[in-house]
Structure 1
Amino acid sequence: MTTIQLLQKSIDYIEENLKSELSLSELAEISGFSTFHFCRIFSNYVGMPVAAFITKRRLYHGIYEIQIGKKTIDIALLYGFNTYAGFFKAFKREFGCSPTKYLKLNTAKKPMAVNLIREAKIMLTQREIKQILSNWNLDSNLEIEDTFTLGGTAKSDSTWLINGKYIFKTGKNIAGLKTHIAISKELEKSGVLAATPIKTIEDEDFIIKDDKYFCLTNHIKGKFLTPEERYAENRIEIGEKYGEAIGNLHKILKKQDKNLEVNDNNLLKTVLGWALPQTKITMEQWGCPLPDRFYEDFTENFSKLYNELPRHIIHRDPNPSNIMFHNDEVSGFIDFEISERNVRIFDPCYCATGILAEATTIADRFEKWDEILKGIITGYDNICKLTEAEKLAIPYVIYSIQMIFIAWLDGKEELKNLAMQNRKMLIWIWENKDKCFESL
């Protein structure tokens, strides 16, 4: 048997006995190694010590059982924590928040058994990060922390915070990374904080290993707002800050429109040629069809307006988790990888739909969303004066964004909850279009 196959025997045993006391000696014996050798190769292959792995699995199983109705204190004791305080401390260290807050922001899924052969590449990430970071002039004592997306509800599998000062990122879209670097450098010249690259020892902006890039950038001071903060009493003011920040970003991007090489996208063609027909099929298959007049109104009116809409390089992904706040003001933007040339009104509309999508924990998010949308559009208009055609096109751009998401998510089983959420959003926006758009 291979080393991984031998380790898998111990991992399977751990999974079956999480509620029992586990010793290193018995786990080593199951794999056929000495205790010392077992601990060493376990850390090398799994990316963390045995004890840390056991604690992590207990926490994942524990939070799932708490979600389905079991008492927290009972679960803490059941999974080997002597007190609730011990469970709480371990949980917060792993997830960055209390169990109560975690369940407000997430749906805990039943943990799947770890298949080391299948997941070895993922489990080795921490070790690989340390190896790859040797290409930069950093302290030898590295602190690697997870980052989160979707309003803090999903752990990123491609981005990490290093020593509290840098962001380490990997991916395969090298062309997109080059776009991000070019834009972030121009923003920095204009006094706008963006994630600019830290040079490697060889004075490169990033390195390539196999088919992936690895890049280290500065960490923008601040944090993204939580859904609760976005929907607070001052939500219109918050919306205006988002809108004004996007407007100021666009003023810089417009000046660089001829200097930066990006993809040129036609939103109308994308929707009419792909997203709209796919959305129509998907909505009918799921038993939530929109009336024909929705598609007819969109096709007729957006087709008339589209050529009048100003266009230049845009962020393309200004979801609220990509916009950082510090001391109640926008401090900077992150992630320009998918920037493109498109209609400029796309960005403020995308930010608004992102705020609606990420607020699943807000009970009355739909009823309050029109105020946030109004704030974003007002703030953007304060900086980049909207044309009459743009004002009329706002509903159709928002419909476009939703149809693109619905079409893209179709058939992705692992994202079915997100897909359902976006279908519900489109129906609600259409049915409440007067409330949402009448004051814009």
Structure 2
Amino acid sequence: MNDKTISKEAPENILKCWKLSGTAEQIYSTAWQVNDKYVLKRYEDLETLKKNAEMLTVLHEMGIPVAEIIPVPSGDPYACCDERYYMLSKKLPGNNETDIIQEGIAEKMGEILGRLHLAFRKCEECLELWDNSLLDEMNGWVAESLTREKWLDEETFRSAVGNLQDGYDRLPHQLIHRDVHFGNFLFDHGEFSGYIDFDLSQKNIRIFDICYFLTGLLSSQIGSALDTEEWLRIVKDAAAGYEKWIPLLPEEKRAFPYVMENIELLFAAYFNLPEQADFRNNALKMFYFVRGQEAQIHKMLEE
């Protein structure tokens, strides 16, 4: 049997490609934990797998805490089954259960992002990744969605995009993670232990990552105890942690709320199915919340 191709899609069968046996416990819809030592991940698209594998390999060689890929015996980083692709990696220690309200965690997350962005700077020249632009997306498919579906009034949308556009070309652009939330950052006994899931990594404005993280906190905390004052403190602490590694330009600090707002409008456009109406409404709720806090965000970042 070719160690890259197998006939039955079951984790235990797929593991035979690596000459492994044991128990596979599903942890996500596309991932399994194997013998508490490995993680098996399924991909529908081979190019996405290859991009992620290349990213992990480069970062691991740089000493960044990411999962180490286990190749099949032929040396390839994946196995194939029924036009689906599988990658096996060593399991990193820790988990993603972290309380952002806990003192010091927001600043630590900022530091973690800063260190990752420094590593990205060093390795982006040897990686061919999508060179994307949040502004182009807003003026492109997001605007087209608004025209079709009328989920926000045109004047408000144009105002938000205009604020982003003002000075956009002066915002530093580099390789970013693009999916920064606690599910993709592991902690072991309170200490950071590793980065995971680089499937969406791309080149874009660098503050996208920290803004995405901060708006994601708002979305995940709907109906919880995280209030406005607490969230603004988190914004300040996360930015301060990031600046321990990478100083933020004045243009970036000015753009913080505008990037957050446009990220939420991007999500409002993305959630376009009837069964996703609540997600769209939540994104718009976050947009208006951040819009109402622009002056406070600027004040927090200037202190």
> TM-score, normalised on structure 1?
0.62
Q: CA deviation at 1:366?
A: 4.4
Percent identity (aligned): 30
Aligned residue among 15, 33, 38 for 1:166 = 38
Q: 1:364 to 1:253 in 2, by over 3 A?
A: closer
Q: CA deviation at 1:182?
A: 1.5
Aligned residue among 99, 115, 129 for 1:262 = 129
Q: CA deviation at 1:368?
A: 2.1
Aligned residue among 108, 122, 128 for 2:10 = 128
Look up the equivalent residue of 2:53 and give its one-letter code: I
Look up the equivalent residue of 1:132 and give its one-letter code: I
Q: 1:127 to 1:268 in 2, by over 3 A?
A: closer
User: Which residue matches 1:60?
Assistant: none
**Secondary structure in structure 2 of the residue aligned to 1:230:** coil
**Secondary structure in structure 2 of the residue aligned to 1:350:** helix
Which protein is richer in helix relative to its size?
A: 1
User: Which residue matches 1:143?
Assistant: 23
Task: State how far apart, in whole Å, the 1-side matches of 2:257 and 2:300 are.
Answer: 12
User: Which residue matches 1:381?
Assistant: 243
Matched, 1:175 2:47: yes
Task: State how far apart, in whole Å, the 1-side matches of 2:37 and 2:56 are.
Answer: 17
Task: State how far apart, in whole Å, the 1-side matches of 2:80 and 2:145 are.
Answer: 36
Matched, 1:278 2:136: no
Task: State how far apart, in whole Å, the 2-side matches of 1:279 and 1:291 are.
Answer: 8
Q: CA deviation at 1:426?
A: 1.3
Q: CA deviation at 1:291?
A: 8.2
Question: CA contact under 8 A between 1:176 and 1:336: conserved in structure 2?
Answer: no
* Contiguous gaps of at least 5 residues in structure 2: 1-7
* Contiguous gaps of at least 5 residues in structure 1: 1-125, 148-155
User: Which residue matches 1:400?
Assistant: 262
Query: Residues 4-153 of structure 1: matches in 2 within 5 Å?
Result: 128-138=10-20, 140=21, 142-147=22-27
Task: State how far apart, in whole Å, the 2-side matches of 1:314 and 1:341 are.
Answer: 6
How many pairs does the alignment contain?
A: 294
Q: CA deviation at 1:159?
A: 1.1
User: Which residue matches 1:43?
Assistant: none
Q: 1:279 to 1:224 in 2, by over 3 A?
A: farther
Q: CA deviation at 1:207?
A: 1.4
Matched, 1:220 2:92: yes
User: Which residue matches 2:101?
Assistant: 231
Task: State how far apart, in whole Å, the 1-side matches of 2:242 and 2:148 are.
Answer: 35
User: Which residue matches 1:297?
Assistant: 159
**Secondary structure in structure 2 of the residue aligned to 1:439:** helix
Look up the equivalent residue of 1:273 and give its one-letter code: G
Q: 1:343 to 1:213 in 2, by over 3 A?
A: same
Question: CA contact under 8 A between 2:138 and 2:161: conserved in structure 1?
Answer: no
Q: 1:361 to 1:189 in 2, by over 3 A?
A: farther
Task: State how far apart, in whole Å, the 1-side matches of 2:139 and 2:92 are.
Answer: 38
Q: CA deviation at 1:367?
A: 4.5
Task: State how far apart, in whole Å, the 1-side matches of 2:281 and 2:143 are.
Answer: 16
User: Which residue matches 1:355?
Assistant: 217
Task: State how far apart, in whole Å, the 2-side matches of 1:432 and 1:388 are.
Answer: 18
Q: CA deviation at 1:300?
A: 2.9
Computing the radius of gyration from Cα coordinates, the structure with the larger value is 1
Task: State how far apart, in whole Å, the 2-side matches of 1:243 and 1:203 are.
Answer: 37
Task: State how far apart, in whole Å, the 1-side matches of 2:67 and 2:277 are.
Answer: 32
Look up the equivalent residue of 1:330 and give its one-letter code: F
Q: 1:290 to 1:378 in 2, by over 3 A?
A: farther
Look up the equivalent residue of 1:267 and give its one-letter code: L
Look up the equivalent residue of 1:430 and give its one-letter code: R
User: Which residue matches 2:62?
Assistant: 190
User: Which residue matches 1:87?
Assistant: none
**Secondary structure in structure 2 of the residue aligned to 1:146:** strand
Question: CA contact under 8 A between 2:161 and 2:262: conserved in structure 1?
Answer: no
Task: State how far apart, in whole Å, the 1-side matches of 2:162 and 2:280 are.
Answer: 26
Q: 1:337 to 1:206 in 2, by over 3 A?
A: same
Look up the equivalent residue of 1:230 and give its one-letter code: I
> Alpha carbon RMSD of aligned pairs, Å?
2.2
> TM-score, normalised on structure 2?
0.89
Task: State how far apart, in whole Å, the 2-side matches of 1:279 and 1:231 are.
Answer: 35
Task: State how far apart, in whole Å, the 2-side matches of 1:264 and 1:224 are.
Answer: 29
